[in-house]
A and B are shown apart, each in its own frame.
Chain A
Amino acid sequence: MANGFFTDTTLCIGCKACEVACKEWNQLPAENYHLSGMSYDNTVALSATTWRHVAFIEQIGNGSHATAATDGANRPGAQAVSESIRQQPGPQVRSGDGLLGEHRWLMMSDVCKHCTNAGCLDACPTGALIRNEFGDVYVQPDICNGCGYCVPACPFGVIDLQQADGRVWKCTLCFDRQKEGLTPACAKACPTQSILFGDLAELRARAEKRVGMLHARGITGAYLYGGPDEHTSVGPLNAFFLLVDEPHVYNLPVNPQLPQSKVLPAYLATALTATFFGVATLYTLLAGRRWSKNPLSAGFPLRGMREKTMRWGVRRNRA
């Protein structure tokens, strides 16, 4: 069984220790020094040089998140919510001047999901992307030639080309540390056990228990994102999450799908379209010949087209 991450957002305190520990261990450069204006999140997204990223979602004010919270309840694993999510985990001021109602400041440490069916891995033509002995998706930097096919193949937008060296980079799940029996840097640095690393089977069991516990405590909007019972083409995620709101709130796809899974329908659609146009063209050619013999066709709306076709016909005849 593979190793993976269980990131429990209800325990995250937004300290970003995971981001810094990741960059320090993997010696990744800082990207830029721009204030994003997106709450306390200034790294904004995962990238070739940011392999852990903490999102900050302010849900403050009257009812702004009430809808979202109710939506969260429709996720698999979540109980019907309406009142309950107000009780936990966000603090509340139940009265006051009306500016602040129930409110939350969600924090979530995002990372490469190390999918069971990894789009990037399938797309890689050089074999640089492999599934390593710990069950995780790993880019071999000495083989990657920077073709970038894997970039659009990731439904989460994780894997990214580094402009400086032309290769792709993403979380290795600290492959080097794992080989030495060490916990990945982010999980090691997390002060509240929001990021847990370990055997996936154990993590999943623990996560299920945690969801049950939160439901019992009234946080019925809690559910697992990337669990085995979700019907997505990426399959269960080796790095999965406990969320309390809809995935899109955290900038995660609601129903992640592999681009490959769209190949057959796309192929069929293309074939169908080609057939249609082929038939249409043939029909036009044949009909055109007939129309040209018919003086009544002068007012036919497709006259121009017909004429063009005829001209081509003339040209072809000349050639």
Chain B
Amino acid sequence: MSFGRGGATTAQWDLANSDCIVIQGSNFAECHPVGFRFVMEARERGATVIHVDPRFTRTSACADLYAPIRPGTDIAFLGGLINYVLEHEKYFKEYVTHYTNAATLITEEYKDSEDLGGIFSGFHEDEHAYYTESWSYEGESMPRAAQHKKARTGETFAERVTRTTQAPPPRDETLTHPRCVFQILKRHFARYTPELVEQICGTPADVFRQVAEAITSNSGRDRTTAFCYAVGWTQHTVGVQLIRTCAILQLLLGNIGRPGGGILALRGHAAIQGSTDTPTLYNLLPGYMEVPLESEPTLDDYLAEYTAEGGWWHNFPKYIVSLLKSWYGDAATQENEFAYQYLPKLHEQTDYSYYPMMFGMVDRQIEGLFVMGENFAVGGPASILERQALRSLKWCVVRDPVHVETADFWDMDGVDPASVETEVIYMPAAWAAEKSGSLTNTQRLLQWHDQAVDPPGDCRSETWFMYHLGRRLKELYAGSAEERDQPLLKLTWDYPVEEALEEPRALAVLQEMNGYRLADHTLLSGYKDLQDNGGTSCGNWIYSGVTPAADANLAAARQPDRAGAFSNHQHWGFAWPNNRRILYNRCSADQDGRPWSERKRLIWWDAQAAEGKGQWVGYDVPDFELHKAPQQPPDTQGAGMAALSGADPFIMHADGKGWLFVPHALRDGPLPVHYEPVESPMPNLLYPNYPHNPTAVFFERPDNPYNGAGNPEYPYVITTYRLTEHHTSGAMSRWNTWLAELQPALFAEIDLQLAAEKRLQTGDWVTVSTARGAVEARAMVTARMRPLIINGRTIHVVGMPYHWGPGGVVTGDIVNDLIGVVLDPNVRIHEAKAFTCNLRKGRKGQKDGAHGAENNEVATRTRVDLHAELPEGGIINRFGSEGAEMLHRTSLAER
């Protein structure tokens, strides 16, 4: 939203060029140890590494400065940094004035959260939602390119179109007009002082000042600071706004689009970035194009909605038409709107996202499910609910290389397998080395890998499964004249298959995404070749250029830059878009096209290049029109890129600026606001009337109870996380003996003070509970956890990794059973990184902790171990009926 693209602005290796790296909302060293080498390299070169985290982790151990923080208060912390930058005038003046919308004026109707006590203008209390007309640039309608998430307005589409003007919005480059974004920002964050940060976050004010001093002294013409985050920032009811806060800070410091700067989103798996680029999401088509809505019945309506007047998204028709040609081939013609009607249309008032789907399963509205490469019976938040959802299905196909719990839900939670009606079809899947293909990693980098061996037995790749499923379905429906069957029957499905396994050729899929000319089937060299008249086919416009010729696969390129030189590794893999390594890199030069400094040189304007025509040159592929001179004024009557000047670097935005203030598009405000997590022990010190995000999405159901805010029954804050030794739900690690022995048991990290209160020692059993459920774990008492003093109150944070379940070599309780479903309004992410819990000594099923001390011996809880630890009598008392049943089962097995 702030910059215009859904990807990290930089690459991990570019961190080595940073002068300061702030890692917040991420445990970089533990969860991305291979990429962490670049942080270590930067540190060796003299950069300051800062870790802001509730826990002192392996990342903290490698940092120069560690700042503790209470989970879920990062907006207050970052807001404090923004205020520090503005108050001490540490922002990068030329950058902010010319490259951001700081100077743009906002309508008079706009009211800030500071004016209204915690909400912005346009809030409809009864709907828990905003109508966003008042968050506009003065005199401008909504810039439609922003609408990745359709904003709600009271206007009809026609009304909005008539309100559109071609003139650029008024600006005040002195940044003094009271309604310019800069002044609004100043007022908005004025209360976020270091003392307030200490009161809310528990970060000592002088430590906070050290962080502020480090980032401001390492930003500017000659120096750059990078921010790294992961799901520690996203999994909150304010997840999107949290990242927005960082974006505002980095724009103010002038760190976007420059070497060693940027915001690095660290993805949790090898191809998470790829799974949103070529999405498996309900609301996106490949290349971040929206799935059509019912209110867009024709292609023209759809194009009118998403084609921007100015900026890169003016090319939208080329991308969608080429996608439709790729999917429907000859069946997509000018006459039938390029088969637009074959695309499903979303009903606007229906939520198709992940959790409503789960509730739909529980309520038996959904009958069947395919699960591929996911183990949500353990790894999914609110996993009790998700296992219930699985048990409510008629059928379920699970494809995984190991027999994960998601295929085993019928034998969990003490239910009688006979009572579960779901038919489970488990299909063994191939591991990565058993198939070819590309992964798109955290830095938008496509990396190809070749198959090493054939998968054993009946194991097959996902590509094999999807291709043959589609092929068989087409055969099944062949000859049908029913209109509803046409989207399937007309689908192009002509992948070449290889060898005995009939494996579809993965490279053919990548080439389909790259796109080709329909006339002669020659591959495209990039998305600039795409046409909106049906002349080209392209499966994902942002990947266009990855296979520019039949014998060229840039994803397989493996040419690193030589050590010591400034490196972008331009010939290692392929980074979308168009092999750019650092996005918005026009920002690396000043408005006249000169590098801000010699040290931070990336691309610049060479007026003599290209036979005097002038050209952007440098160490990266320019994220700009190659021959557009920096001095070129915008053509206010023009469309697309012509509407942007030679100094408008954020080309995806209609106004070409980085957005400190997001005019529309977000559902919870144009600026970030500190709200407490929904389950928090503390009131909102800034806005007592709005403790949590007023637009957060709740599901008030008996099977989804909430702890409630400030509930004394759940006095501790809990955060969940991953360890280096395991991978998410443990499917790839709990079955691996070498990894399992490294972290063999579920534990709860507890600070010394809380441990003393509860008389806990490392190795004791503890039971952690929420309104949803309870899990037992071994206590890990450590000074790495610290109690935080929050506004005079001591708050204890409990940390629990979530890798264990009943399957695999090492077993343990499922931590995600503790989490409830409450979501961010923009992207429907849950709140797993900050909620509340209770904790007591002893095992589940024990009435109190009185007997917990008996189990000081540290051992994993396997069924055999459990048996061994059982005393002669008192089974029911100590372990409850579940324990007795397990004992019974074990005994039977032994007989």
Contact = CB atoms under 8 A, between A and B. Distances in A.
B741 A43 contact: yes
B396 to A, nearest CB: 30
A15 B61 CA distance: 12
A91 B51 contact: yes
Contacts of A106: 61
Given A33-B862, A58-B782, A96-B204, A20 B738 contact: yes
Greatest chain B CB density within 10 A among A17, A24, A29, A92 is at: A92
Contacts of A191: 33-34, 36-37
A35 B737 contact: no
A263 B318 CA distance: 86
Contacts of A88: 64
Contacts of A17: 33
Contacts of B780: 37
Contacts of B741: 30-33, 42-43
A218 to B, nearest CB: 11
Contacts of A315: none
A40 B743 contact: yes
A37 B750 CA distance: 13
B778 A61 contact: no
Given A93-B204, A94-B207, A107-B58, A37 B29 contact: no
Interface in A1-57: 11, 13-17, 19-20, 23-24, 29-37, 39-40, 42-43
A241 to B, nearest CB: 17
A91 B858 contact: no
A317 interface: no
Nearest to A217: B46
A97 interface: yes
B859 A34 contact: yes
B488 interface: no
Nearest to B29: A13
A89 B62 contact: yes
A40 B784 CA distance: 12
A91 B60 contact: yes
Contacts of B40: 11, 13, 192
A15 B30 contact: yes
Contacts of A97: 204, 786-789
Interface in B732-766: 737-745, 747, 751-753, 762-763
- What is the interface residue range for chain A against chain B? 35 or more
Nearest to A210: B44
Contacts of A89: 62
A24 B724 CA distance: 17
A11 B753 CA distance: 31
B61 A14 contact: yes
Nearest to B857: A34
A49 to B, nearest CB: 10
Contact of B60 (A34, A95, A105): A105
B395 interface: no
Given A43-B742, A60-B784, A13 B860 contact: no
Contacts of A60: 56, 782-784
A204 interface: no
B752 A33 contact: no
A31 B56 CA distance: 29
Contacts of A192: 36-37, 40
A114 interface: no
A29 B738 CA distance: 7
B453 to A, nearest CB: 16
B63 interface: yes
B206 A14 contact: no
Interface stretch (B65-73, B171-179, B504-512): B65-73
B58 A13 contact: yes
A37 B763 CA distance: 6
B870 interface: no
Contacts, number: 144
Contact of B738 (A30, A36, A104, A193): A30
B809 interface: yes
A99 B751 CA distance: 10
Interface string A252-272: 000000000000000000000
Nearest to A20: B738
B110 to A, nearest CB: 40
Interface string B782-806: 1110111100000000000000000
B206 A105 contact: no
Given A31-B741, A58-B782, A36 B858 contact: yes
B290 interface: no
Contacts of A34: 744-745, 858-860
Interface string A230-251: 0000000000000000000000
Nearest to B49: A91
B49 to A, nearest CB: 8
A243 to B, nearest CB: 15
B62 A103 contact: no
B744 A35 contact: yes
B768 interface: no
A161 interface: no
B37 A15 contact: no
Contacts of B862: 33
Contacts of B434: none
A100 B33 CA distance: 26
Interface in A163-203: 191-193
B409 to A, nearest CB: 24
B760 to A, nearest CB: 12
Given A33-B810, A104-B61, A105-B784, A96 B207 contact: yes
Nearest to B777: A35
A15 B859 contact: no
Contacts of B204: 93, 95-97
A89 B58 CA distance: 12
A275 to B, nearest CB: 51
A162 to B, nearest CB: 16
A105 B56 contact: yes
Contacts of B37: 191-193
B725 interface: yes
Contacts of A141: none
Interface string B851-871: 000000011101000000000
A32 B207 CA distance: 42
Contacts of A99: 751-753, 783, 786-787
Contact of B763 (A15, A35, A40): A35
B746 to A, nearest CB: 9
A63 interface: no
B33 A15 contact: yes
A127 interface: no
Contacts of B51: 91
A76 interface: no
A89 to B, nearest CB: 7
Contacts of B778: 35, 37
Contacts of A100: 56, 68, 783, 786
Nearest to B46: A217
B577 to A, nearest CB: 28
Given A33-B744, A37-B858, A13 B782 contact: no
A228 interface: no
A231 B782 CA distance: 38
A125 interface: no
A93 B810 contact: no
A202 B463 CA distance: 49
Given A15-B29, A105-B784, 6 more contacts: A32-B741, A58-B784, A61-B783, A91-B51, A99-B787, A105-B56
Nearest 7 interchain pairs by C-beta: A91-B66, A105-B61, A30-B737, A60-B783, A15-B33, A33-B744, A30-B741
Interface of B: 29-30, 33-34, 36-37, 40, 51, 56, 58, 60-68, 204, 206-207, 210, 723-725, 737-745, 747, 751-753, 762-763, 778, 780, 782-784, 786-789, 809-810, 858-860, 862
14 contacts: A14-B29, A14-B30, A30-B809, A31-B741, A32-B744, A33-B741, A34-B859, A42-B741, A92-B65, A99-B783, A100-B786, A191-B33, A191-B37, A192-B36
